[in-house]
């Protein structure tokens, strides 16, 4: 089986020759071909080359367009700070929606309009051309809480949940429509699965998650699935309060970051949900030994059961020893599904 066949079969509940592995690599991938990260995030050809090389070295079953959370907001007109060799980031003091009233006049950018969203779509198309039959191709969009934070400023958004719930709903409506258009364009370009990153959702607690975040995540996921793509949900951080809800979203894959125990995910989401994770990227993958990685993957697999994909809780950190990343494959090879 090749990586694409392996992941799709596993998601369908069919037998596989080994467990799929899907660790998120971004800066780590750039390092594999010796490029600065600014080139990775600004030139899809560099991103694709780095992803292909990384997938080849570590026999990773998929490739991804994920690079940073600032694609959509940049095309909306948000001020983004670029760094030479690390991910771009937002300056909250200059948030695009520093004034809530600005939302009314904010236009959804055309994903094909020549900005940072187009560069990602071009990456998807190039992946399709180069490895469309061999590797699962992952597109990427932001979830409502994450993109809302990017546009409004994360500190301010957290207060908005109490100060102006109507604004939150208006903002999330805007985000959902924009992200679905972005997903559509990536799917048209050839991606098999859409990853949805909603990092800020892990900060909000159970009440806000259920009332404000979950309904929009659900609409986003339903929308992407209606387009025919698979969905992977990735919420960085501690999601223990939200696991049950995450299990009701209908995702094909739910990632668990290291603060969210796999056995809790399994208990809250039932036996059928495919879980991915949750090696501690720093203490296990980067700072641990090969044996630490093997032991931890085995523990995660044991807690998750057969509906499991090997991966880290979040991005593989730059500086991770190659042998530690290879240990994921070593474990996966020993397991037929």
Partner 1 sequence: MTDLRQLFDAVVTGDHVTSKAVTAEALAAGVEPLALVNDYMIPAMDDVGGKFERNEYFVPELLLSARAMKAAMELIRPLLAARGTQPIGRVVMGTVKGDLHDIGKNLVCAMLEGGGFEVFDLGVNVAPEKFIAKVRETGARLVGMSALLTTTMPAMKLTIDAFAGEGLRDQVKFMVGGAPVTQRFADTIGADGYAENAPSAVVLAKRLIGVAA
Distance CA 38, CA 48 (A): 14
Range list of H helices, 164-233: 165-189, 206-208, 214-226
> What distance, in Å, lies between the first and last C-alpha atoms of the chain?
12
By CB under 8 A, what part of segment 109-138 binds partner 1? none
Q: Does 35 bind partner 1 (CB under 8 A)?
A: no
Q: Considering only 40-48, 150-158, 214-222, 270-278, which stretch makes contact with partner 1 by CB under 8 A?
A: 150-158
Residue of 109, 144, 281, 311 that binds partner 1 (CB under 8 A) = 281
> Least CB distance from residue 2 to partner 1, whole Å?
31
Residue 68: closest CA among 231, 199, 246: 199
Taking the least distance from each CB to partner 1, the nearer of 31 and 252 is: 31
CB 260 within 8 A of CB 240: yes
Q: Does 165 bind partner 1 (CB under 8 A)?
A: no
Q: Is the dihedral of CA 332, 333, 335, 337 positive or negative?
A: positive
Residue of 204, 213, 221, 253 that binds partner 1 (CB under 8 A) = 204
Which residues touch 150 (CB under 8 Å, ≥6 apart)? 69, 70, 72, 73, 78, 90, 142
Q: Considering only 118-126, 153-161, 178-186, 263-271, which stretch makes contact with partner 1 by CB under 8 A?
A: 153-161
Q: Does 87 bind partner 1 (CB under 8 A)?
A: yes
Distance CA 153, CA 148 (A): 8
Taking the least distance from each CB to partner 1, the nearer of 24 and 204 is: 204
Distance CA 231, CA 85 (A): 29
Size of residue set near partner 1 by CB under 8 A: 32
Residue of 205, 271, 305, 306 that binds partner 1 (CB under 8 A) = 205
> Least CB distance from residue 41 to partner 1, whole Å?
13
Q: Considering only 45-53, 189-197, 220-228, 234-242, which stretch makes contact with partner 1 by CB under 8 A?
A: 234-242
CB 11 within 8 A of CB 230: yes
Strand arrangement of the beta sheet that strand 193-197 belongs to? 62-64, 136-142, 193-197, 230-234, 253-256, 274-279, 308-312
Q: Does 305 bind partner 1 (CB under 8 A)?
A: no
Token output for 111: 């994903």
Taking the least distance from each CB to partner 1, the nearer of 81 and 323 is: 81
Q: Considering only 97-105, 189-197, 223-231, 281-289, which stretch makes contact with partner 1 by CB under 8 A?
A: 281-289
Q: Does 38 bind partner 1 (CB under 8 A)?
A: no
Q: Does 158 bind partner 1 (CB under 8 A)?
A: yes
Q: Does 98 bind partner 1 (CB under 8 A)?
A: no
Distance CA 240, CA 253 (A): 17
Which residues touch 202 (CB under 8 Å, ≥6 apart)? 235, 236, 237, 238, 239, 242, 257
| Residues near partner 1 (CB under 8 A) | 27, 81, 83, 85-87, 89-92, 154-155, 158-159, 161-162, 203-205, 208, 236-237, 240-241, 281-283, 286-287, 317-319
């Amino acid at each position: 089986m090749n990586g694409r066949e392996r992941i799709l079969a596993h998601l369908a509940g069919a037998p596989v020759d080994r467990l799929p592995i899907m660790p998120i690599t971004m800066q780590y991938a750039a390092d594999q071909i010796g490029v600065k990260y600014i080139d990775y995030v600004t030139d899809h050809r560099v991103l694709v080359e780095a992803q292909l090389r990384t997938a080849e070295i570590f026999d990773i079953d998929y490739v991804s367009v994920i690079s940073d959370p600032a694609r959509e907001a940049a095309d909306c007109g948000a001020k983004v700070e670029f760094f030479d060799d690390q991910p771009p980031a937002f300056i909250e003091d200059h948030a695009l929606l520093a004034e809530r009233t600005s939302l009314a006049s904010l236009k959804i950018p055309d994903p094909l309009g020549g900005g940072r969203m187009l560069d990602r779509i071009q990456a998807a198309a190039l992946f399709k051309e180069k490895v469309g039959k061999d590797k699962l191709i992952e597109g990427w969009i932001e979830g409502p809480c994450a993109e809302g934070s990017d546009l409004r400023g994360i500190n301010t958004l957290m207060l908005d949940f109490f100060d102006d719930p109507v604004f939150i709903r208006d903002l999330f409506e805007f985000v959902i429509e924009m992200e679905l258009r972005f997903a559509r364009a990536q799917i048209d370009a050839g991606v098999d699965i859409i990853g949805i990153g909603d990092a800020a959702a892990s900060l909000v607690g159970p009440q806000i998650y259920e009332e404000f975040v979950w309904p929009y995540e659900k609409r986003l996921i339903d929308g992407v699935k209606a387009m025919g793509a698979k969905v992977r949900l990735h919420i960085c951080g501690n999601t223990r309060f939200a696991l049950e809800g995450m299990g009701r979203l209908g995702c094909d894959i739910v990632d668990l970051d290291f603060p969210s125990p796999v056995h809790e995910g399994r208990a809250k989401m039932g036996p059928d949900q495919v879980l991915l994770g949750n090696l501690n990227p720093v203490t296990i993958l980067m700072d641990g030994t090969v044996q630490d990685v093997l032991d931890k993957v085995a523990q995660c697999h044991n807690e998750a059961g057969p509906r499991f994909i090997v991966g880290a809780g979040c991005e593989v950190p730059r500086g991770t020893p190659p042998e530690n990343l290879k240990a994921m494959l070593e474990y996966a090879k020993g397991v037929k599904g």
